[in-house]
Amino acid sequence: MRGLIFDPFAGISGDMTIAALLDLGLPLEWLRSFVAGLNLGDIRVDAERVNRKGIASTRLLLELPHEHAHRHLHHVVKIIEGTGVAPEVRDRAVHAFTLLAESEAAVHGTTVERVHFHEVGALDAIVDVLSAVAGCHELGATSFYTRPVALGRGWVDMAHGHFPVPPPAVLKLLQGVQVADPEFEGECTTPTGAALIQALTGGAPPPATYTPVASGFGAGTRDPQDRPNVLRLILIEPQGGADEGIVVIQCDVDDLTPEYVPTVLQAVLDAGAADCSAQPLVMKKGRPGVRIEALASPEKLEAVSAALFGGGSTIGLRFWPAGRRVLPRRMETVQWRGEEIRVKRSALPGGGERAKPEFDDVARAAARLGMTPLQAYRALLADGVAREDPAGTP
């Protein structure tokens, strides 16, 4: 499991992200094949080596057919869902465009459904987001982090007029993400770049220790005199397990009948949460209540929030980005006394592994073998199917 650190010391855009992935080792032929497979028209993909203030870097070159479409979010989602990309790529790309729509709606005082995407809904933004997310997946990155994001100063011309830098939508997208103001003139971070940072990292900072595997620099179109206009990406091996960016989602309710709490927990898990729990608490006026807390990847925030609102009685929730460290693990299926048992094996720091059989499989096998689940579990331990082995013996 590898991680990817975004280092936008001079800002970030969609094309800079793809260029940095190419510089990191993503094959250009893979990118050409991926873009061609999107079936979005005659799009030509190329790259060139450039020098930005002494830093050798890669610049992406895209030629796209001219179009006049002003898309809504549902148009973009339909395009993404029709590309046939891997589910994790699709979900993260949809999440990025949902964030873009929400930020535009908030800035312009309208609803997500009525937002016209203009620049960020153009074909190049769709290609940028899908290629960036899929490229990260292709390089094997499963966890994402970011250093402070450079904003820039001055003014920029956009579809809605002349706006200050950073554009309002960029600040909305970067809420909860650490930013920097190094007094660079011009637009450093675009809405598409900010959406990628938020959708992939959720603002999670890099781990305290890690092993760099490779680094790459993606060049922007401009070449200002005061800075190397590049985005750096660092592919890493986290130490002591994989560190992941995750979102904590929490709500407190005092009007939910206890027997319905399990149905809410299951709805949240079905929506894609990594974990969900409930705990009793005393709320205002001394009322007994329950706190429901879920952990989810950033791209699952909207689905999990909808499950909490729809499946329970809460009228509000809170969420914040957090770090999570997990052990590398794998799932395997073993044959035990004629039954199939799934076993989760986790690699321990310093060597060895921990093995744990899935309870549902243990209970099913126990029923067929005329045993209690606890008896079956103890038998599995005795037979060496599940055990902790610090010495590293399989």
Amino acid 394 reads P
Residues near 309 by beta carbon (within 8 Å), at least 6 away in sequence: 315, 317
Reduce the DSSP state of residue 91 to 3 states and report it. Answer: helix
Residue indicated by tokens 């993606």:
218
Backbone torsions φ then ψ of 274, nearest 5 degrees: -75, -30
pTM metric for this prediction: 0.67
Measured torsion, CA atoms of residues 180, 186, 190, 193, in degrees rounded to the nearest 10? -50
In this predicted structure, what is the pLDDT of residue 344?
86
In this predicted structure, what is the pLDDT of residue 119?
45
In this predicted structure, what is the pLDDT of residue 392?
44
Give Cα 221 to chain centroid, integer Å.
Answer: 26
Backbone torsions φ then ψ of 355, nearest 5 degrees: -120, 135
| Structure token digits, residue 344 | 């989760």
Q: Which domains can be identified in the chain, with CATH numbers?
A: 2-240 (no CATH), 245-326 (3.30.70.1380), 329-389 (no CATH)
Where does 64-151 show beta strands of DSSP type E? 141-146, 149-150
Which residues in the chain come in under a pLDDT of 70? 1, 68-69, 116-121, 158-161, 238-244, 387-394
Please tell me the distance from the alpha carbon of residue 64 to that of residue 14, in angstroms, as a whole number.
Answer: 15
Where does 181-300 show beta strands of DSSP type E? 186-187, 210-219, 230-238, 242-253, 275-282, 288-296
Given a contact cutoff of 8 angstroms between Cβ atoms, the answer to whether 246 and 323 are in contact is yes
In this predicted structure, what is the pLDDT of residue 389?
56
Given a contact cutoff of 8 angstroms between Cβ atoms, the answer to whether 85 and 151 are in contact is no
Please tell me the distance from the alpha carbon of residue 38 to that of residue 126, in angstroms, as a whole number.
Answer: 10
Please tell me the distance from the alpha carbon of residue 341 to that of residue 127, in angstroms, as a whole number.
Answer: 43
Given a contact cutoff of 8 angstroms between Cβ atoms, the answer to whether 305 and 317 are in contact is yes
